[in-house]
Amino acid sequence: MPLDPQIQALLDKGTGVPATHTLPVDVARAQYEARIALMAPPAAVADVCERMIDGPGAPLRLRIYKPLGTGPFPLLVFFHGSGFVLCSLDTHDGMCRNLCAGAACVVVSVDYRLAPEHKFPAGIEDCLHAVRWAAAHASELGADPTRVAVAGDSAGGNMAAVAALRLRDEGGPVLCAQLLLYPVTDYHTPGTPSYEENAEGYGLSRDTMKWFWEHYLSDPAQGAHPHASPLRARDLAGLPPALVITAEYDPLRDEGELYAQKLRAGGVRTALSRYDGVNHGFMFWVGVVDKAGVAMKETCAWLRGALAAPHHSGPMCR
């Protein structure tokens, strides 16, 4: 399908902006933060607050969103992208508000440590710790500790997938669902056909993904570890039900779809939706890009089903 004209208009606004992989990290971070001004107002929620908790390596900041209505609500722990290096609670504030309102769940957004200051596995250690903290403190958050899910976009999708693997293997808590939005699931070498097809011209480029990985890992050999590349995990059986969203014009399209196939092969109930005509990160643009709104509605409907009351939910829920 041709590139969606609304996506093309956004790409045109970025004409002349230096490519991420050509920039110092601090400049690249500022460039991504500047995108917030272009986003549409998000959905209304009942309350937003922040908590500092003791983390594995340093104090860990969480931003907590509560929906309108009366709880206890399901609990969604969210990990932001971008590339293990960029973005923040602020860049993903709108996405978290839309998920909170649309899925009627408490959302805990995690300000995990970023590379290159904090290499693999510091970020995932923070994310894992945050899930355990949130589940243990669900009642005080107005949430139900028996209805917990993880979610993330891009590198945050990687964190969500790896957190699900580690929680399965390292004593829980049990998850009801994992939401993976155009996730990073594999190291960039050797790459997939979509890495070649969408190497440049659509926002996220192959060169930028290489830059991200170089900052994230201390040694390229770590790219083979399943806690860096969950697609390389030997066994995905026993993981929570998943929704994987992919985008046609995304270098990461194929690895996201391969992960969905591998989840299904492992017996995991998995929904996969590819959105044609759009690029990596398109779900930032709810209210600007029509297909972003469609994808958000699908995502929230799936979450509501996956996080329904325990007697209606899948076998992973207690």
Q: Cite the active site residues.
A: 154, 250, 280
Helix or strand holding residue 9 (H, E): helix 5-13
In angstroms, the first-to-last Cα distance of the chain is: 42
d(CA 128, CA 137): 14
CA torsion sign, 208 to 110 to 54 to 233?
A: negative
How many residues belong to the chain?
A: 318
CA 232 – CA 89 distance, rounded (Å): 29
φ/ψ of 197, rounded to 5, equals: -60, -35
Q: Which residues of 164-199 are buried (b: 16+ CB within 10 A; e: fewer)?
A: bbbbbeeeebebbbbbbbbbbbbbbeebbebbeebe
